[in-house]
Structure 1
Amino acid sequence: METKQLLSGFKEVFGKDGERVFFSPGRINLIGEHTDYNGGKVFPCAITMGTYAVVSMREDQSVAAYSANFPDDGIMHFDLTNIAYKKADKWTNYLKGMTQYIQENYGSLPNGFNIYINGNIPNGASLSSSASLELLTGVVIREVFHLDIEQLDLVKLGMKTENEFMGLNSGILDQFAVGMAKKSHAMLLDTNTLEYEQVPVDLPEHKILIMNSMTRRELVDSEYNLRRSQCEEALEQLQTVLEISSLGELSEQEFEENKHVIGEDVLVRRAKHAVYENKRTERAADALKSGDLKTFGQLMNESHTSLHEDYEVTVKETDLLVKLAWKQPGVVGARMTGGGFGGCCIAIVEQDAVENFIEQVEKAYEEEIGHPGEVYIAETADGTKEWDLV
Structure 2
Amino acid sequence: MDASKVRSKFIELFSNEPMIARAPGRVNIIGEHTDYNDGFVLPAAVDKEMVFALAPNGLEVVRAHALDLNETEEFPLTLDAPREGWINFIIGVTVELSKKGASLKGYDLVFSSDVPMGAGMSSSAALECALGTGLNTLFNAGLSQKDIALAGQASEHNFVGVKCGIMDQFASTFGKANHVIRLDCRSKEMELVPLKMEGYKLVLCNTKVTHSLASSEYNTRREQCEAGVEILKTKYPEITNLRDCTPEMVKSCQAEMEAKVYDRCLYVVEENDRLMRACDCMAAGDLAGLGKEIYGSHDGLSKLYEVSCPELDFLVDQTREREDVLGARMMGGGFGGCTINLVAADAVDGFIADLTAAYKKELNKDMEAYVVVTGDGARTEAEVEA
The 4+ residue runs of structure 1 with deviation greater than 4 A are: none
Residues 36 and 166 in structure 2, CA contact (< 8 A), matched pair in contact too? yes
Structure 1 equivalent of residue 79 of structure 2: 82
- How many residue pairs match? The answer is 383
Structure 1 equivalent of residue 60 of structure 2: 61
Residues 102 and 143 in structure 2, CA contact (< 8 A), matched pair in contact too? no
Structure 2 equivalent of residue 198 of structure 1: 192
User: 1:4 offset after TM fit, Å?
Assistant: 2.8
Structure 2 equivalent of residue 154 of structure 1: 148
Give the Cα–Cα distance (whole angstroms) in 2 for the partners of residues 184 and 63 of structure 1: 36
Give the Cα–Cα distance (whole angstroms) in 2 for the partners of residues 95 and 115 of structure 1: 10
Structure 2 equivalent of residue 92 of structure 1: 87
Residues 329 and 353 in structure 1, CA contact (< 8 A), matched pair in contact too? no
Structure 2 equivalent of residue 309 of structure 1: 303
Give the Cα–Cα distance (whole angstroms) in 2 for the partners of residues 347 and 328 of structure 1: 11
State the TM-score, normalizing by the size of structure 1. 0.95
Give the Cα–Cα distance (whole angstroms) in 2 for the partners of residues 283 and 102 of structure 1: 37
Residues 332 and 348 in structure 1, CA contact (< 8 A), matched pair in contact too? yes
Q: Which amino acid aligns with 2:28?
A: N
Residues 38 and 185 in structure 2, CA contact (< 8 A), matched pair in contact too? yes
User: 1:17 offset after TM fit, Å?
Assistant: 4.1
User: 1:228 offset after TM fit, Å?
Assistant: 0.5
Residues 234 and 262 in structure 1, CA contact (< 8 A), matched pair in contact too? no
Structure 2 unaligned segments of length 5 or more: list them. Answer: none
Residues 185 and 198 in structure 1, CA contact (< 8 A), matched pair in contact too? yes
Residues 46 and 380 in structure 1, CA contact (< 8 A), matched pair in contact too? yes
Give the Cα–Cα distance (whole angstroms) in 2 for the partners of residues 107 and 349 of structure 1: 44
Q: 1:342 aligns with which of 336, 351, 373?
A: 336
Any idea what the Cα deviations from partners look like across 1:128-158, whole Å, max 9, x if unmatched? Answer: 0111111111111100001110000111111
Q: 1:208 aligns with which of 184, 202, 205?
A: 202
Residues 63 and 80 in structure 1, CA contact (< 8 A), matched pair in contact too? yes
Any idea what the Cα deviations from partners look like across 1:37-57, whole Å, max 9, x if unmatched? Answer: 112111101111120011122
User: 1:260 offset after TM fit, Å?
Assistant: 2.8
Please state whether the residue corresponding to 2:191 is helix, strand or coil. strand
Give the Cα–Cα distance (whole angstroms) in 2 for the partners of residues 78 and 317 of structure 1: 40
Please state whether the residue corresponding to 2:299 is helix, strand or coil. helix
Structure 1 equivalent of residue 361 of structure 2: 367
Residues 3 and 51 in structure 2, CA contact (< 8 A), matched pair in contact too? no
Structure 1 equivalent of residue 173 of structure 2: 179
Any idea what the Cα deviations from partners look like across 1:2-35, whole Å, max 9, x if unmatched? Answer: 23333223223x1524321111100111100010
Residues 238 and 261 in structure 1, CA contact (< 8 A), matched pair in contact too? no
Give the Cα–Cα distance (whole angstroms) in 1 for the partners of residues 123 and 83 of structure 2: 19
Please state whether the residue corresponding to 2:320 is helix, strand or coil. helix
Please state whether the residue corresponding to 1:240 is helix, strand or coil. helix
State the TM-score, normalizing by the size of structure 2. 0.96
User: 1:323 offset after TM fit, Å?
Assistant: 1.2
Give the Cα–Cα distance (whole angstroms) in 2 for the partners of residues 290 and 281 of structure 1: 14
Q: Which amino acid aligns with 2:135?
A: I
Give the Cα–Cα distance (whole angstroms) in 2 for the partners of residues 107 and 209 of structure 1: 39
Give the Cα–Cα distance (whole angstroms) in 1 for the partners of residues 352 and 198 of structure 2: 19
Q: Which amino acid aligns with 1:291?
A: G
Per mean C-alpha deviation after superposition, the further-off stretch among 196-205 and 352-361 is 196-205
Q: 2:119 aligns with which of 99, 122, 125?
A: 125
Give the Cα–Cα distance (whole angstroms) in 2 for the partners of residues 171 and 262 of structure 1: 27
Residues 26 and 50 in structure 1, CA contact (< 8 A), matched pair in contact too? yes
Structure 2 equivalent of residue 30 of structure 1: 29
User: 1:121 offset after TM fit, Å?
Assistant: 1.3
Structure 1 equivalent of residue 97 of structure 2: 102
Give the Cα–Cα distance (whole angstroms) in 2 for the partners of residues 251 and 83 of structure 1: 42
Residues 204 and 339 in structure 2, CA contact (< 8 A), matched pair in contact too? yes
Structure 1 equivalent of residue 19 of structure 2: 20
Give the Cα–Cα distance (whole angstroms) in 1 for the partners of residues 257 and 78 of structure 2: 50
Structure 2 equivalent of residue 228 of structure 1: 222
Identity %: 34
Residues 44 and 187 in structure 1, CA contact (< 8 A), matched pair in contact too? yes
